[in-house]
Structure 1
Amino acid sequence: MSHGSGCSSCTRPTIPGADQRQTSGNPVSSGALQVNPELIMRRLSAAFLLLAAMLLTTAVQAASPEEQIRERLKESLPDMPVDSIRETEREGLYAVQGGGNLIYATADGRYLFTGQMLRLGDDGIANLTEQTRTRQRRQTLSKLDSGEMIRFGPDEGGVKADLYVFTDTTCGYCRKLHRDMEALNDLGIRVNYLAYPRGGPGSKGARQLNAVWCSDDRRSAMTRAKQGESVSAGQCESPVQSHFRMGRAFGVSGTPALVTESGRMIRGYKPPRVLARELGLDG
């Protein structure tokens, strides 16, 4: 009978996995606990799997927004090229560029947005999408090899501004702009022609532009083509297709498409003096 303990049957605490069976009829002494290896291994395995799951979850959660967006696009839009992913000034919204496209995605990549991103402020409306394209154009043009363009301009010392013009020899307004070349050069504007066949790389315009770029005298060939003359030349590695892809990436939708050194797009034909004002030139 127990005195004051409140227990009717007090026993020694047991250790999980310990076997206190009697051996050879003798009671197990207090220092002779036997451990069940199989039970211990099962519990260790369960603990290891739990730890691994926790580490995996942590790794997934630690993936950056750029990585999550890239992975989502790879799964859902495997054919879409992704050149860059960067956060916009709107926290949690990312600009995704690739293959001439610019779209927006949430940080987890679950929601995509297309179109223009505008910011409303006290000073008016800012087109953030166009600002991004402007920066992209400027960076691309700065790396362009002058040898793949057809240039019309004043002497080097007389150049006040460079204008990059996506042109098509079959385009009426492109021909009109070409007739203004002398006036443009007199204002200090150098025209750098880039090819943009409106009908695509396999069109008649593309074949004509290829002939112009493959000619021994490209400037003369460009002038003759824009006067309606037929131009023929041998095969060469012309930049017409790469220019066309560049134009698509720049957002060109028609010709002439003019791009300033800063990357700003001027769409369509403009008279020489209007262009001079657009470029910040006197006169």
Structure 2
Amino acid sequence: MPEGDTIYRTATVLRSALLGRVVTAARARPGPGRARVPDLDRLVGQTVTGVESQGKHLLIRFSNHLTLRTHLRMRGSWHRYAPGEPWQRPAAQATVVLETPQAIAVCFSAPTAELLSDTELARQPVLRALGPDLLSADFDTDEAVRRLRELRGLEIGDALLEQRAVSGIGNVHKSEALFLERVNPFTPLAALADETLGAVLATARRLLAANVGGGRRVTTGLSRPGQGLWAYGRAGRPCRRCGALVRTARQGELARTTYWCPRCQPDAPRPGERRF
């Protein structure tokens, strides 16, 4: 699933192509997992007034006070094309198409696409429930820690992916941030001090911000192929820091993949023990 850095970058690209442009054609089509297809005819003749990311959600705003919200899940992606330019994916996979005289924006294979009024947007339950956005300029660490504390019983590796606690982070940056802070992903939240949670969030925020520019995702500072990540995707290979073999396991009810170094990130503390 695209993480917050990918959606932030997508918003930047689409903003440069669409902002201030008049929509000349707009259409949506049904797709897997989508019960409703938004009527985009109302966007024709309207001007794009804003494009922004909110966690893993992309919001495109229009001059008639409507907002298009998309969530890409695992397979979705937004593309920008010049008029007449061949598409890189089949038209049958296009969930949303927005056309202006200068550019065409196509959202492929997105299970979530809805057109909302200002009132509906303010009441949208998923957006209302989102925790602080790690890529927001006014990210509130204290509020994010408070929301994490509400996820009683969860392990830190699972809790970080709960978008209602903190939004924008996914499996890659979760594994990388926990590695850099030497926190075992299976540590119960109750065993970690607020200072530790704050440090993990700060590192995750730094990693996300460092990767909004595009290209291969890098957390090690080395952009050469195969050297960009510390732990994610490196199961069975030597840790770049200590040489122990990186491990992987499924975690949480959704069985999401976690990577960690058993030496750099030792086992979770005993019940009642708090690590600083």
TM-score band w.r.t. shorter chain: under 0.3
Q: Select the structure with the greater relative contact order (CA < 8 A; seq sep ≥ 6).
A: 2
Which one has the largest radius of gyration?
Answer: 1
Judging by fraction of residues, say which structure has more helix. Answer: 1
TM-score w.r.t. length of structure 2: 0.24
TM-score w.r.t. length of structure 1: 0.23
